[in-house]
Structure 1
Amino acid sequence: MTLSRRKTLALIGGGTLLAAGGLGTGWAMTRTPTAALVPWERAGTYGDPRLRALSYALLAPNPHNRQPWLAELRGADTVILTRDPARDLPVTDPFARQLTIGMGCFIDLMRMAAAEEGDAVAVDLFPEGEDGPVAVCRWDGTAPSDPLFAHVMDRRSHKEAFEDQAVSAEAAAPLMRYADIYRGGDELQVLRDMAHDAWLTEAATPEAFQESVDLIRIGKAEIEANPDGIDVGGPMMEGLSLMGLLTHAAAADPDNPGSRMVIEGTAAAIEGITAMTVGHTPGNTRRDQIAAGADWLRLNLAATGAGLALRPVSQALQEAEVFAPMYRAVQTFAPDGGTVQMLGLLGYAPRTPRTPRWPLETRLRNA
C-alpha cells in the first residue's frame, strides 16, 4: 500500500513494519482516540443556534489540522471570528495564506450549518483591516438549506492511496463549479510533475519538513492530549511507538530507510493519480483567500457526494524561496492576473477515519 503524507511523516526508524505482537486484541481495540473524536458526535447538539453552527464549522478542512479559529459570542446574534496566531506555520505558510483559506472553509461551513436551520448569516470580512477580526458574523433573516450540507459528516481530507480507476466526466461535472478538473493529457502530467517535485523538495528541506514533524501526534495519548496536527494512530503505529521503532526522532530524519520508503511511496501516489483539481481566485487578497476556502470546502463536499476522495497537495503553492520555481510554474494554471490557491488529488478510495478536533469550548474566547 502506498502511504499517505501523514504516514510518510510517521517515519519508521528501521524501515520495517512490525506487528505489535503480544499486546493483545483487547489492547488493540482501545487504541481509537475516542475523546478527540467527540466533537464530531456533538455537532449540532448545542442550545444556542450560533454554537450549533460553530460546532459543525470546526469540522472544516484546514492546513495541517491546525484549527486556527477562535470565536467570541457577542450579544444575542453575533459571532466575532479571529485567527489564532499561535497556530501559524511560519516556514511553509509564511504569509498565513493557507491558514486564511482554512478560515474561509470554517466560515462557509458555519454559514451552511446555520442555513440548515433556516438562518441567514451576514458576514463582514476584515472590518478593521487585516490585523483585526477575520469576520463579524450576524444572524440576520432566513436562508434556504444547501444540498451540500448533507455530506458534512462523511467529508474527509483523504489520507491514503487512491484506487487505480479513472475519474469519469460525469463524476467530475458537479465539482467543476468550485475548481478546474484535469483528468488527463499534458496538463495533468505537468501538474503531477510539479506536485511530485514539490513534495520531494519539502522532504529534502529540513526547516519545512521539521515544521510538519513537530506537529505529529503518535498514538492515542498524544492525539487526545493535542487533537490537532498530524495524527498517527491505530494499533500498528502505536505498537511500533511502544517498541521504540516509531519515534519523533526518527520522524525528523528523512534519510533512514523507512523514511525513504514512505517518501518515495507518496511520490509514487502523486505520479499515479488520474485526476487533479486546481482552485484559483481573481487575485490574492485576504478576501480572495477566504473565497478560496469556501470553494475548497464545497469541492470537498461535492466530491464526497460524487463518491470521490480529495487530498490536498499544497507544497507547490508554498511561498518559501525553495519552492519558487514550482510556485511560478503552477501559477500559469490561473487566468491572467489570477492566483492558484489550492491543488488536490482526486480519485476513488475507501473513506478514511474522522480527523481529531479540539472541543468547541476550547475555541471560544468567552466560553
Structure 2
Amino acid sequence: MTLSRRKTLGILGGGTVVAATLGWTAFATTRTPTVALAPWDKAGSYDDMRLRALSYALLAPNPHNRQPWEAELIGEATLAIWRDPVRNLPVTDPFARQLTIGMGCFLDLMRMAAAQEGIGIEQTLFPEGETGPVAVCRFVPGDAKPDPLFAHVMARRSHIGLFDPQQVGADAQTVLTPYAQVFANSAEADALRDLASEAWLIEASTADAWQESVDLLRIGKTEINAQPDGIDVGGPQMELLAMAGLFSREAASDPNDPGTISAVEDTRAAIASSPGFVVQTSAGNTRHDQIAAGASWLRLNLAATGAGLAVRPVSQALQEYPEMSEVYAAIHSVYAPDGGTVQMLGLLGYASRTARTPRWPIEARMRNV
C-alpha cells in the first residue's frame, strides 16, 4: 500500500497537526533500519577468507527473504552450509524447492566472492543426503579466476515496483539468454503476463498461502532491525499508519481491508507493467537441479543488473499446493512439456533501483562463531 505524504497525514487526522507534533522531516530521516542494512556495508571486511566470501553470499536473492542458510567453520579452510528448516515456507513451498534454489544462489555468490581473491571452492553437495548439510566447501587458494558478473553484486536488487514503459530490446535480451528464456514485446510475453496475474490472484485469495506472507511482515524500523528477514514494510508513511492502528498484520489478513486490496492491486499493476519475462527450466528436479537453477537465477540477476535491467521473481505459478495446480500444469505444458520443471519465472524490464533489503548479520547465521 503506497500513499502520498499528504494522504497519509490526512488519514491520521490532520496533516499539519501530525507533522508539527512528530516533526515530519526529523521523523522521516530516522526511519531507515540501519542495523538491518549494515551487512551490505560489511561485505568483504572479515579476516577469514571463508567469512569474507560468506559476507557477500548472504546478499543473494532468496524466497520471501527468508535467508535460510547457516554456516559452520571446519578446520582452517572448509565450510559446511546448511539450510535452516525453521525458515521453511510449508504452504507455498511444501517441498522446499524454492528455498533450495535460494541456497543455489547463495552458494554461487560465495563461489564468486572467493574467486575475486583467486580462491577456488571444491564443493560437495548433500554429502549426507537430505539430513545433512547442503554443501561442504573446501577453499583452495590460487585455484580460480574472478567472475566478471561479480562487479554487479552490490547493485543487484529484486525489483518490487512498477516497470518503465521502455521495451527490452534484442541486444539486452541476448545478454540474458545464457541463463533463461527471454520473452519481451511478444504474444508469449502477453500469455505469461496473464498467467502470472492469475497465479498471483490465486495466492492472494488462498487464505493459508496469503497468511504465510502476512506472518512474515516486519512492520517499521524496530521490527525490521530486530528480525531482518521476511517482508519488510518500512518507511515513515507506513510507520505512521501502524502507529495509528490503520495498518497491522490483522488488517493485512483481511481480504476486504482497503490496504490488502491495494497491496493485491499493486502487484497486479507491476505484472501488467512488465514488458518482458524470463523463464528458467531444468530437465530434472533433483536437489542438484534446484541448486543449479539457483546459480543460474543469480547469474541472470547480475547480468540484468549489468545491462541496466530489473528482474522481479513471480513464481506463484510454480508453487506446488492444490489451489495452484491448474496454473502449474498450464505453464509446464508449454515450457516443460517433456517432463522437465519450470524452476523460475520473473518479470523483466527497466525500472528505478529498489532499495537494499534487510539481512541478518553473518554472526547470526553461523553455527560455531
TM-score (norm 2): 0.93
Query: Matches of 1:145 and 1:115 in 2, distance apart?
Result: 5
Superposition deviation, residue 33 in structure 1: 0.1
Superposition deviation, residue 131 in structure 1: 1.9
Letter of the 1:214 counterpart: D
Instruction: Determine helix, strand or coil for the equivalent of 1:70.
Output: strand
Superposition deviation, residue 241 in structure 1: 1.1
Alpha carbons 2:162, 2:269 under 8 Å: kept: no
Query: Matches of 2:95 and 2:12 in 1, distance apart?
Result: 38
* Counterpart residue number, 1:79: 79
* Counterpart residue number, 1:39: 39
Letter of the 2:44 counterpart: G
Comparing 239-248 with 88-97, greater Cα deviation is found at 239-248
Comparing 253-262 with 118-127, greater Cα deviation is found at 253-262
> 1:54-133 residue pairs with structure 2 within 5 A?
54-133=54-133
The 1:17–1:181 alpha-carbon spacing in structure 2 relative to 1, beyond 3 Å, is farther
Instruction: Determine helix, strand or coil for the equivalent of 1:61.
Output: coil
Instruction: Determine helix, strand or coil for the equivalent of 2:131.
Output: coil
Superposition deviation, residue 289 in structure 1: 0.3
Letter of the 2:125 counterpart: L
Instruction: Determine helix, strand or coil for the equivalent of 2:279.
Output: strand
Letter of the 1:333 counterpart: Y
* Counterpart residue number, 1:199: 200
* Counterpart residue number, 1:344: 346
Letter of the 2:353 counterpart: R
Query: Matches of 1:98 and 1:17 in 2, distance apart?
Result: 40
Letter of the 1:53 counterpart: A
Superposition deviation, residue 169 in structure 1: 0.9
* Counterpart residue number, 1:364: 366
The 1:338–1:46 alpha-carbon spacing in structure 2 relative to 1, beyond 3 Å, is same
Letter of the 2:85 counterpart: P
* Counterpart residue number, 1:21: 19
Query: Matches of 2:223 and 2:343 in 1, distance apart?
Result: 32
Superposition deviation, residue 272 in structure 1: 2.9
Superposition deviation, residue 98 in structure 1: 0.4
Residues 123-182 of structure 1 show CA distances to partners (whole Å, capped at 9, x for unaligned) of: 100111122110010112510000000000000011111111111111121111111000
Query: Matches of 1:160 and 1:29 in 2, distance apart?
Result: 22
Alpha carbons 1:16, 1:258 under 8 Å: kept: no
Query: Matches of 2:33 and 2:321 in 1, distance apart?
Result: 34
Figure out how many residues of one structure are paired with residues of the other and give that number: 358
Query: Matches of 1:282 and 1:196 in 2, distance apart?
Result: 26
Letter of the 1:354 counterpart: R
The 1:17–1:251 alpha-carbon spacing in structure 2 relative to 1, beyond 3 Å, is farther
Letter of the 1:21 counterpart: A
Moved over 4 A (4+): 15-20
TM-score (norm 1): 0.94
Residues 341-360 of structure 1 show CA distances to partners (whole Å, capped at 9, x for unaligned) of: 00000011110110000000
Letter of the 2:345 counterpart: L
Letter of the 1:358 counterpart: W
Task: For structure 1, list consecutive stretches of 5 or more residues without a partner in the other structure.
Answer: none
Superposition deviation, residue 265 in structure 1: 2.9
Superposition deviation, residue 334 in structure 1: 2.8
Alpha carbons 2:57, 2:110 under 8 Å: kept: yes
Letter of the 2:80 counterpart: I
Instruction: Determine helix, strand or coil for the equivalent of 1:32.
Output: coil
Query: Matches of 1:295 and 1:154 in 2, distance apart?
Result: 18
RMSD (Å), alpha carbons = 1.9
Instruction: Determine helix, strand or coil for the equivalent of 1:267.
Output: helix
Q: Which has the higher contact order (CA 8 A, sep 6+)?
A: 1
Alpha carbons 1:217, 1:232 under 8 Å: kept: yes
Instruction: Determine helix, strand or coil for the equivalent of 2:102.
Output: helix
Alpha carbons 1:274, 1:347 under 8 Å: kept: yes
Alpha carbons 2:252, 2:259 under 8 Å: kept: no
Instruction: Determine helix, strand or coil for the equivalent of 2:90.
Output: coil
The 1:146–1:260 alpha-carbon spacing in structure 2 relative to 1, beyond 3 Å, is same
1:321 lines up with 2:319 in the alignment: no
Comparing 354-363 with 22-31, greater Cα deviation is found at 22-31
Residues 272-307 of structure 1 show CA distances to partners (whole Å, capped at 9, x for unaligned) of: 321000011111000000000000100110010000
* Counterpart residue number, 2:165: 164
Query: Matches of 2:167 and 2:256 in 1, distance apart?
Result: 33
Superposition deviation, residue 338 in structure 1: 1.8
Alpha carbons 1:31, 1:234 under 8 Å: kept: yes
Query: Matches of 1:73 and 1:95 in 2, distance apart?
Result: 28
Instruction: Determine helix, strand or coil for the equivalent of 2:19.
Output: coil
Residues 84-133 of structure 1 show CA distances to partners (whole Å, capped at 9, x for unaligned) of: 00000000000000000000000000000000000000110011112211
Q: Percent identity?
A: 63
Superposition deviation, residue 337 in structure 1: 2.9
Superposition deviation, residue 254 in structure 1: 1.7
